[in-house]
Amino acid sequence: MARTTETKRLGVAGRKGITSSHQWITLYCFRFNRKSHFGGRSHACSLPHCRPITARILFMFKLFEGFTDPFPKGEPQRPPNTLWAFCRHYTRGFEKPLIVMALLSTAIAIIEVSLFGFMGQLVDWLSTSSPDTFLTENQSTLIGLGLLVLVGMPLLIAFYSLLIHQSLLGNYPMSIRWLAHRYLLKQSVSFYQDEFAGRISTKVMQTALAVRETVMKSLDVFVYVMVYFTAIVVILAQADWRLMIPMLIWLAIYVTVQMYYVPKLKKVASEQADARSLMSGRIVDSYTNIMTVKLFSHSQRETQYAEEGMQDFLGTVHRQMRLVTGFNIWVEMANYLLVFTIAALSIYLWITSAISVGAIAVAVSLSLRINGMSKWIMWEVSALFENIGTVVDGMTMLGKPITVTDKPDAKPLVVKHGGITFDDVSFHYGENKGVINHLNLNIKPGEKVGLVGRSGAGKSTLVNLLLRFHDVESGRILIDGQPISEVTQESLRSKIGMVTQDTSLLHRSIRDNILYGNPNATEEQLLKATAQAHAHEFILGLTDPHGNSGYDAQVGERGVKLSGGQRQRIAISRVLLKDAPLLVLDEATSALDSEVEAAIQESLNELMQGKTVIAIAHRLSTIAAMDRLIVLDKGQIVEQGTHQELIAQNGIYAHLWAHQTGGFIGCDEDEVEEAILA
């Protein structure tokens, strides 16, 4: 994650005097919206001026919060793969407040250094003027200075603080997260199969903060420092050009130390960001699959697995801290050398009458100010390059191209009949070995087709190609004569209802999960779907630790609080509610016991009426009554026909049927035959 958080940003701002403004605002919020410590009741201030002041403060907060949009509209595009182009991509909409921030930072730096210079003049005035005439002679200057310190600077800093805290610190990274999240949702299924879910979410959170800190530090800190040091050199030169020499020598040493350590810190920061993501991914993986961990009694193994990730991360932290320690020692040595040299040279120049006492005060004060600022700059530059490393690491994931995209002129899919055609389709997952090889299959509108074959024959791959989770490598797939590569993915999948063997539910309520099939469904339609799926009764008995029950109960991550059969019935309810013209059943009843399966099969038969259906099942009895059975082997169709026709061929299907009815799943062949004939 980005090292410098909002709290650290407050600390940085504090070095410019902003904490006082923050405390002023906090004081007013407490003063006019306080709570009693006796009973905890809220008491509004009774004074007539209090509410208007509170309203004005709240108005200012909301005004600045509304200057930038944390949820920009428009389709998210692939970000560039170079650092500054990547940052610029995610900075759109925030350019103006960032420029204003840099200008305000410049003004604050100039005024602060000018105040140091004026303090030197004030010392000279005090040493040469008479106490009786001092105020009358310098009245206008002192009043102007007082107005600048008491009114001008607080207003400037308040405006700067509002811009930073209300317009940028919250909205800027949220905009990045929003755009990155929407882009990642467009990624293909294979992208998520290759990455930890925890690793992806960590990258989004880390990179958003890192981009913010990289851009804001580059503008704010660098501009502030550049202006500050330039102004310091000018003021010292005005006193005596020889006072610039220690400053320039210190600056050369400081830059040399930065140039040596910063690239090393940048490299280790990139390694650290990757190690942190890997560590988080391993931990999340263990939590996500906690049932498997418990089932195989592998808590110790998972502990070791996580420890390896933590050790790798800790190794990068140790390397980083070694560099920081060396960096800090060199900077401290240069700082105190500067303070000593400036003080000694100032005294020498005063002895030779080259400068005044006021010039000594200015020179020594500025050297002490530099001593404090250099440590702040060291940490800010270190944090900057650490954030740059995090951004570079995040770019590799967030900037990956989307492999399955809609064509610019893609149109919505229109399904009038429901015919499906696989025309000379080949697909190998990018490898040389075949998965689907030159497959041709025509499914008529309203036809119920069962896909049969051994594991790895290509059944699920064929369905994934139909859903366009992957693009075919050759050939084409058509629905009602429309190539699916020429229609939008959203419209394609909206026309296909699917129940999978690995039913994964969202960590939301039962109601939300079922309405995922049709968010606009009425309560009556919802209850009808759950009744058809034989889910209504068990749903009413559900509760969660938050006091919710029935349809409002939370299902837990991936639906872990439900049994496999319950999850399957929720999934079937969802598809019943969707009522799509094309239906895919991938082991739809595999998690159900025989009694519940028999009850749901009737509902599925009703659901299949008027639809084109593709069903996959290893338990052949569940699909034996389909209009046509397609037998796949090594990505090719080797047999097809009705159940009786395939039994008569005495091929792969007959062999699989004989195994299952011979006792492998306890199926009574005579009963199955009667069901098929019925």
Q: The domain that contains 528 carries what CATH number?
A: 3.40.50.300
Of 25-34, 198-207, 333-342, which range is least confident?
A: 25-34
Last residue of a domain, one of 527, 561, 579: 579
Task: Provide the edge-to-edge strand list for the sheet that holds 628-633.
Answer: 496-499, 582-586, 612-616, 448-452, 628-633, 636-641
CATH number of the domain bearing residue 214: 1.20.1560.10
Q: CA 615 to CA 617: how far, in whole Å?
A: 7
Question: What is the mean pLDDT of the segment spanning 197-219?
Answer: 89
Residues 198, 253 share a domain: yes
Residues 134, 53 share a domain: no
Residues 319, 242 share a domain: yes
**What was the pLDDT predicted at 558?**
58
Contact 437, 634 (CB under 8 A): yes
Residues 158, 32 share a domain: no
**What was the pLDDT predicted at 5?**
44
**Residue 51 located in a structural domain:** yes
Residues 158, 241 share a domain: yes
517 backbone φψ class: left, alpha, beta (φ>0; ψ -120 to 50): alpha
Amino acid at 54: T
Residues 188, 128 share a domain: yes
Question: What is the mean pLDDT of the segment spanning 303-314?
Answer: 90
Residues 124, 34 share a domain: no
Which tokens is 653 given? 């299907």
**Residue 587 located in a structural domain:** no
Report yes or no on whether pTM surpasses 0.75. no
**What was the pLDDT predicted at 251?**
86
The predicted-structure confidence for 112-164, as pLDDT tens digits, reads as follows 888 887 887 778 777 777 777 777 777 888 888 889 889 989 999 999 999 99
Look at residues 402, 589, 377, 407 and name the one whose alpha carbon lies nearest to residue 485.
407
Residues 197, 53 share a domain: no
Range of the domain at 91: 66-71+79-398
**What was the pLDDT predicted at 17?**
43
Parallel, antiparallel or unpaired: strands 582-586 and 496-499: parallel
**Residue 201 located in a structural domain:** yes
> Half-sphere exposure of 148 toward its Cβ, with a 13 Å CA cutoff?
14
Residues 159, 59 share a domain: no
Which tokens is 334 given? 């240069």
The predicted-structure confidence for 531-583, as pLDDT tens digits, reads as follows 988 889 999 999 888 888 999 998 876 566 787 778 888 888 999 899 899 99
**Residue 34 located in a structural domain:** yes
Helices (H), 289-356: 290-295, 299-351
Q: How far is CA 537 from CA 278, 433, 527, 542, in A?
A: 43, 48, 11, 9
Three-state secondary-structure class, residue 138: coil
Last residue of a domain, one of 530, 557, 579: 579
Question: What is the mean pLDDT of the segment spanning 593-622?
Answer: 79
Domains held by the chain: number: 3
Contact 239, 426 (CB under 8 A): no
**Residue 484 located in a structural domain:** no
**Residue 239 located in a structural domain:** yes
Residues 177, 35 share a domain: no
Last residue of a domain, one of 564, 579, 594: 579
Residues 168, 48 share a domain: no
pLDDT for residue 668 is more than 60: no
The predicted-structure confidence for 385-410, as pLDDT tens digits, reads as follows 778 888 988 898 888 998 889 999 99
Cα 290 from chain centroid (whole Å): 24
Residues 146, 46 share a domain: no
